Structure 1
Amino acid sequence: MTSRTFTRALARRLGALVALPVLAASGTVAAAAGPGPGPGLARYYGQHVTWTSCQQGSDDEQGRELDRAGARCARITVPLDHTRPGGRTITIALSRIAATDRDHRVGAMMLNEGGPAEPTLGMPLEARRYMGAVGARYDLVGMDPRFVGRSTPLDCGWPGGMWIRSAGSTRAAFDSQVALQKDLAERCARSSGDVLPYADTRDTARDIDIVRAVLGERRLSYLGYSYGSYLGAVYAQMFPGRTDRMVLDSPGDPRVWGPRLTGTEGPSERALRAWAAWTAARHGEYGLGRTRAAVLGTVARIVRASAARPLRVGRYTVDEHLVPYLVYGGVGNDRDEARASFASSVKVLDAAARGEEATPTPELEGALRFNLSGGSSALVSPAAAILCGDRAAPRDPEVYWGDVQRSRRRHPLFGPITNNIGPCAFWPAPPREQPTAITTGAPALLVSATGDTATTYRGALGLHGLMSGSRLLTLRGTIAHGIYGEYGAPCVDAKVNAYLASGTLPSRNPTCAPGRR
Structure 2
Amino acid sequence: MAVFAPRSGKRRAHPSRSRPAARGAAAVALAVVGALGAGALPAAAAPGPLARFQQQRLDWRSCVQGPQDSAGKELERAGARCADVTVPLDYADPDGRTVTVAISRIRATDTAHRVGPLLLNGGGPGGPTLGDPPWVRAAMKDVGRRYDVVGVDPRFVGRSTPLDCGWPTGSSIRGAGADRAGFDRATAFAEDLARRCRTRAADVLPFVSTRNTARDMDVVRAALGDRRLSYLGYSYGTYLGSVYATMFPDRVDRIVLDGVVDPGRYGPRLLRGTESANSGALRRWASWAAGRDTAYGLGSTRQAVLAGVERVRTAAGRAPLRIGDLRVDESVLPLVLFTGLSQDNDTAYGDLARAVGDLRRAAEGRAVTPSLWLAEALAFLLTGADSAYGSAQTAILCGDVAAPRDPQVYWRDVQRARARDPLFGPVTYGIGPCAFWAPPREEPTAIRDDVPALLVNATGDPRTTYRNAVTLRRAWPGSRLVTLRGADQHAVYGVFGSACVDRAVNSYLATGVLPRRDPVCARTAP
Other-structure match for 1:311: 321
2:340 is equivalent to residue 343 of structure 1: no
Q: 1:224 is paired with a residue of what secondary structure?
A: strand
2:78 is equivalent to residue 33 of structure 1: no
Which of 341, 355, 377 is the equivalent residue of 1:331? 341
2:183 is equivalent to residue 174 of structure 1: yes
Runs (5+) with no aligned partner, structure 1 = 19-31
Q: 1:165 is paired with a residue of what secondary structure?
A: coil
2:208·2:395 contact (CA, 8 Å) conserved in 1? yes
2:188 is equivalent to residue 161 of structure 1: no
2:461 is equivalent to residue 452 of structure 1: yes
Which of 402, 413, 428 is the equivalent residue of 2:423? 413
2:3·2:463 contact (CA, 8 Å) conserved in 1? no
Q: Which moved more, 1:146-155 or 1:289-298?
A: 289-298
Other-structure match for 1:374: 384
Q: Distance in 1 between matches of 2:55 and 2:475?
A: 33
1:33·1:213 contact (CA, 8 Å) conserved in 2? no
Q: Distance in 1 between matches of 2:219 and 2:227?
A: 11
Q: 1:413 is paired with a residue of what secondary structure?
A: coil
Q: 2:194 is paired with a residue of what secondary structure?
A: helix
2:385 is equivalent to residue 363 of structure 1: no
Other-structure match for 1:3: 3
Q: Distance in 1 between matches of 2:286 and 2:385?
A: 33
Q: Distance in 1 between matches of 2:259 and 2:57?
A: 35
Other-structure match for 1:25: none
2:238 is equivalent to residue 229 of structure 1: yes
Other-structure match for 1:62: 71
2:59 is equivalent to residue 47 of structure 1: no
Which of 263, 284, 290 is the equivalent residue of 2:294? 284
Q: Distance in 2 between matches of 1:293 and 1:124?
A: 42
Other-structure match for 1:466: 475
1:484 counterpart letter in structure 2: Y
**Residue 16 of structure 1: CA displacement?**
6.0
Q: Distance in 1 between matches of 2:39 and 2:196?
A: 43
1:407 counterpart letter in structure 2: A
The verdict on how the C-alpha distance between 1:434 and 1:174 changes in structure 2, with shifts beyond 3 A counting, is same
Which of 117, 123, 140 is the equivalent residue of 1:131? 140
**Cα-to-partner distance string for 1:142-174 (whole Å, 9 max, x where unaligned):** 111001112111000001221221101111111
**Residue 467 of structure 1: CA displacement?**
2.5
Q: Distance in 1 between matches of 2:360 and 2:345?
A: 22
2:410 counterpart letter in structure 1: Y
2:399 counterpart letter in structure 1: G
Q: Distance in 2 between matches of 1:51 and 1:472?
A: 37
**Residue 355 of structure 1: CA displacement?**
0.8
**Residue 105 of structure 1: CA displacement?**
1.0
Q: TM-score, normalization: structure 1?
A: 0.93
The verdict on how the C-alpha distance between 1:238 and 1:468 changes in structure 2, with shifts beyond 3 A counting, is farther
The verdict on how the C-alpha distance between 1:14 and 1:384 changes in structure 2, with shifts beyond 3 A counting, is closer
**Residue 14 of structure 1: CA displacement?**
8.2
Q: Distance in 1 between matches of 2:325 and 2:143?
A: 47
Q: Distance in 2 between matches of 1:516 and 1:320?
A: 34
Aligned length: 497
Q: Distance in 1 between matches of 2:91 and 2:42?
A: 24
Which of 393, 403, 423 is the equivalent residue of 2:413? 403
Q: Distance in 2 between matches of 1:2 and 1:307?
A: 24
- What CA RMSD, in Å, does the superposition of the two structures yield over aligned residues? 1.8
Other-structure match for 1:104: 113
Q: Distance in 1 between matches of 2:168 and 2:40?
A: 48
**Cα-to-partner distance string for 1:389-439 (whole Å, 9 max, x where unaligned):** 010011111111111111111111111001111011111x21011111212
**Residue 48 of structure 1: CA displacement?**
2.1
Q: Distance in 2 between matches of 1:15 and 1:310?
A: 57
The verdict on how the C-alpha distance between 1:279 and 1:352 changes in structure 2, with shifts beyond 3 A counting, is same
Other-structure match for 1:22: none
Q: Distance in 2 between matches of 1:351 and 1:249?
A: 38
2:194 is equivalent to residue 194 of structure 1: no
Identity within the alignment, %: 56
Other-structure match for 1:28: none
**Cα-to-partner distance string for 1:226-248 (whole Å, 9 max, x where unaligned):** 00111011100111111111111
Q: Which moved more, 1:60-69 or 1:222-231?
A: 60-69
Q: Distance in 2 between matches of 1:258 and 1:115?
A: 13
**Cα-to-partner distance string for 1:33-79 (whole Å, 9 max, x where unaligned):** 35xx6x52222222222212222233333223222322111112111
Q: 1:51 is paired with a residue of what secondary structure?
A: coil
Q: Distance in 2 between matches of 1:287 and 1:95?
A: 44
1:77·1:89 contact (CA, 8 Å) conserved in 2? yes
**Residue 8 of structure 1: CA displacement?**
4.4
